[in-house]
Structure 1
Amino acid sequence: MSTVQDDRAGQAAREESLVRLAARLTLTLGAPRPAVFWLDLSLSAGLGYLALALACSDVAVWIRLLAGGVSILALYRAESFIHELCHLKSGAVPGFALAWNLAIGIPLLTPSFLYDGVHNLHHARTRYGTAEDPEYLRLAAMSPWTLPVSVIMAGFAPVLLMVRFALLAPVSAIVPPLRRILVERFSALAINPAFRREPPRGPQRRRWLLLESAASAWAIAILAGAIAGLIPLRVVLTGAAVLSGMAVLNQVRTLAAHLWESDGEPLSVTGQYLDSVNVPPPGWLPALWAPVGLRYHALHHLLPGIPYHRLGEAHRRLTSALPPGAGFERADHPGLASALIRLVRAAGGSAA
């Protein structure tokens, strides 16, 4: 066996050892606690909608702005459970997916079918970081201008979602070519413009159509109410501003979630881990901009089956058990600014 083959075999053995050790150390953390899911979602959604109502009311401007900010953070946390829905095993938290769609997914025009069946591809070992990954772009090798442009474009999410559900969805029901385009290109929360989604089949197709129909009816009702003057313009604009703020916040978090340094070839398990970002304590701000376990994004790629509320304990166990030379700590970053600065520098260096 050649030296190169020896090195590859050794690397594969070390990676397999790391994965097995991580799985063994966190063996007791795989079961979600339904009470945590329900309480967290209820408090986040409740606070978010109460703050939104206050932001829409006739009070002092500074109170409306403060309430709008609280609404963005609280509803963003509630909406982030869409990520957990993709990883929850069937029946693990009974009724949670339906409740989330009724409380958050449909009202905010982000029903779970936009992510279910899409995000899972991002975790596939043969897809991560490649052209077939719906949630990956080689941002570190792209123009630095790509970063602010992507954030600005995210701000138009409310308009795009309204067009998608109030206009394109009903029209596509009677125009098959439009339906094909809508399914392939405009039915996934993805950042890779080359990604084309496969049409749903079986039970997934029925769930998709039900959720899409409900979101479409809601979007049409909002649009009709605004045109007829039944919904005050202030309410429409405030709601759109909150949704826009949530989308911008999520895009900024997305930019900080990875190093985006893949060369387009499939990465190993440790390669995926080290290309992703943890922002562990003691900082508390990540709990706001990367809620529901998203602050442990690298660890989530290593152990995707662990529910969000147990990732902190999983990180503590691995940090204590693994020696510094194992490389586990290399995915930890001090905060949002450091992750973004590194990405900007990498993009700037590639453009030079």
Structure 2
Amino acid sequence: MTAMDKTMSGGVSRDVPTRPALAATPDDSAMLRAAVDLTRDLGKAKPSIYWPDFLGSAALGYAGLAVAITTSQGWLVVLGGLVAAVTLYRAASFIHELTHIRNGSLRGFRLAWNMLVGIPLLIPSFMYEGVHTQHHAKTRYGTVDDPEYLPLALMKPWTLPLFIVAALLAPVALIVRFAVLTPLGVLIPALRREIVARYSALTINPAYRRRPPEGELKRRWAWQETGAFFWALALIASVPLFGWRPLLTGVAIFSAVAVLNQLRTLVAHLWENEGEPMTVTGQYLDSVNVPPPAPLAGLWAPVGLRYHALHHLLPSMPYHSLGEAHRRLTAHLGAGSTYQRSNHAGMLPLVARIARSTMRVG
């Protein structure tokens, strides 16, 4: 029994035959070499793409939020809410880029993202930086030490709806995290250690424990958490000043953002690893690309996330270069290659595949 088995033994069955173990997949050296050789000129992040995309998404999102809060017409409330959810989701998704971009390549972008989106949505980047990169570590991916992995395809059927429904509670949980737990942690050091370990990372693995930050991350953590604390207090204080509608509307929209992201997370991988360390090719085959012509993938997997499997091959590749990298690799490696095996048609077939796998577990 693996470490992941022990952690998730209440939800994973070992009596059901599964696909050949991904952990035993040998590396496809031709694919790995091509991924590097064919994309050497694509690795530079372009501020001329990042900034307009991020700022435009944030502006549209807050405009939609303002409409949803202030209008009295029901259809405009719904329209504003939908626009806000989709575009704020896109703006928030740039947190993923923050963890991978090279230092100095996008000066000021981290600060702007935190001030405009991270702190207002109570997801400051310290919650992801220093955590997400562990998901890419060869010795951690798919194991109990991976903060972003659960063997969902091998778990009981009830875990899938629970996985999605839990995201609905994210806005309230984050308000409590910053408005209540942050000041309590200052007063109670033992509680602070627990807060850092268990409630300071955007993860899906309940067994993951975060280490205290060090160096530059520790300094960024301090000011970002302070900002989130004051913003959470301001949200609570807004109720007696402006009534419940602004806060509840914002919570509803952010819940929609969280559910969108959770659905995207559900189909970012096949979740078929049983807890063993994997080869890079095994990680790739357990991950998902949803390339064109899938019409809606750009909405539910924005900022390059539709190429999640390719991202695991080239984690430092800027999001705007992933489409071209995919086209080059597809043309070079051809049909029937290992590379093609991680391409899928869309969200619904992937959800159905994972659901069928859980049904076999029963």
TM bin (shorter chain) = over 0.9
Q: What is the Cα deviation at residue 20 of structure 1?
A: 1.4
2:198 aligned residue (176, 179, 185):
185
Report Cα offsets for 1:267-320 as digits up to 9, x if no partner.
111100010010000122011100000000000001111110110010000000
Aligned mates of 2:92, 2:219 — CA distance in 1: 22
1:52 aligns with 2:52: no
2:87 aligned residue (74, 77, 92):
74
1:279 aligns with 2:295: no
TM-score normalised over the length of structure 1: 0.94
What is the letter of the counterpart of residue 321 of structure 1? H
2:231 aligned residue (218, 234, 237):
218
Q: Within 5 A, what are the aligned runs for 1:1-352?
A: 15-226=28-239, 229-351=240-362
* Matched residue SS, 1:35: helix
After superposition, the CA RMSD in angstroms is: 1.2
Do 2:28 and 2:338's aligned partners in 1 also have CA atoms closer than 8 Å? no
* Matched residue SS, 1:22: helix
What is the letter of the counterpart of residue 296 of structure 1? Y
Aligned mates of 2:252, 2:222 — CA distance in 1: 28
TM-score normalised over the length of structure 2: 0.92
Aligned mates of 2:237, 2:157 — CA distance in 1: 41
Report Cα offsets for 1:187-239 as digits up to 9, x if no partner.
0000000000000012211110110001001101111222xx21331111100
* Matched residue SS, 1:107: coil
Q: What is the Cα deviation at residue 12 of structure 1?
A: 8.7
Q: What is the Cα deviation at residue 13 of structure 1?
A: 8.0
Q: What is the Cα deviation at residue 71 of structure 1?
A: 0.3
Q: How many residues get paired?
A: 339
Aligned mates of 1:325, 1:65 — CA distance in 2: 44
What is the letter of the counterpart of residue 95 of structure 1? G
What is the letter of the counterpart of residue 59 of structure 2? G
Name the structure, 1 or 2, with higher relative contact order (CA <8 Å, separation 6+): 2
**Structure 2: gaps (5+ residues):** 1-23
- Give me the identity figure in percent: 54
Aligned mates of 2:271, 2:231 — CA distance in 1: 36
Report Cα offsets for 1:8-35 as digits up to 9, x if no partner.
xxx9985233211111011111001111
Q: What is the Cα deviation at residue 105 of structure 1?
A: 0.2
**Structure 1: gaps (5+ residues):** 1-10
